[in-house]
Chains A and B, each alone.
Chain A
């Protein structure tokens, strides 16, 4: 196993997994739609970190271009998602996901 500065790649894998699980925990735990959205961003960033780690350890820059595109898509997604949240808040008066149950069967 190749080490970069004496850090095995397993450490980055474990760190990204931990960050991803913290994001998933936030999605399960929190009820505020904006906080849930932030936790989704955290999960995206955990995956980005893993992609960059593999890219650096294997000397292939295509994964970093992929991360660049993920960042671009995330920026567009946040703009539209926050606009939807503002519209929901204007119509329902809350961003609590326990109250927003109109689409529930």
Chain B
């Protein structure tokens, strides 16, 4: 096995273990911290796939902004203790069985699918130059529209989390 394969297996193991930690740990703050580890492992996968720009954006947006927001809300709502006291005893078994069945169905479907072989692998596909070229020619209108989306989200978040409107 080459070094990249070792890195692949290590990152996959890290991502799966920490995502399981997100689901099964009782403390909400530990859930957030293991989700951050999962996001860093996924960013490592992006680097392995020659998508440097997306790896940087992923760390900045997810680990830098979104998870800080989650952590802030959990600490503000004082959820760092166990907030789920009355859990049904069979719920865990039923959920694990349902999730396993979903995994089985998806893997079975994908195994039957014929993935078409690729022709050329271009190592330049994930660089900032190439992505910027595509983003500002083919996807210029969606890029500009997303700024309106951010404005709407910002106004909505401020309005919702405001205590009471002063008239």
Residues of A within 8 A of B (CB): 1-2, 4-7, 9-15, 17-26, 28-32, 34-35, 37-39, 41-42, 45, 48-49, 52-53, 55-62, 64-65, 67-69, 71-80, 82-87, 89-90, 94-96, 98
Decide if B99 touches A57 in the complex (CB within 8 Å).
no
Decide if B28 touches A34 in the complex (CB within 8 Å).
yes
Given contacts A25-B95, A32-B84, A61 and B130 within 8 Å (CB-CB):
yes
Decide if B51 touches A65 in the complex (CB within 8 Å).
no
Given contacts A22-B19, A65-B131, A71-B57, A7 and B157 within 8 Å (CB-CB):
no
Q: Please, which residue of chain A has its CB at the minimum distance from the CB of B73?
A: A82
Q: How far is the CA of A2 from the CA of B96 in the complex (A)?
A: 35
- CB neighbours of B79 from chain A (8 A): 32, 34, 95
Contact with A along B76-115 (1 / 0, CB 8 A): 1101000110110001100110111011001100100001
- CB neighbours of A25 from chain B (8 A): 23, 95-96, 98-99
- Which residue of A12, A15, A79, A89 contacts B69 across the interface (Cβ within 8 Å)? A79
Q: Please, which residue of chain A has its CB at the minimum distance from the CB of B143?
A: A69
Decide if B121 touches A86 in the complex (CB within 8 Å).
no
Check: B10 CB closer than 8 A to any chain A CB: no
Pick 24 A–B contacts, CB within 8 A, sort by A: A7-B5, A19-B19, A20-B106, A21-B102, A25-B98, A28-B95, A30-B84, A38-B35, A39-B22, A53-B49, A56-B51, A61-B130, A62-B134, A65-B131, A65-B135, A68-B131, A75-B66, A80-B153, A82-B69, A82-B70, A83-B160, A87-B161, A96-B83, A98-B86
Q: How far is the CA of A78 from the CA of B119 in the complex (A)?
A: 38
- CB neighbours of B23 from chain A (8 A): 22, 25-26, 29-30, 39
Q: How far is the CA of A44 from the CA of B107 in the complex (A)?
A: 18
- CB neighbours of A28 from chain B (8 A): 95, 98-99
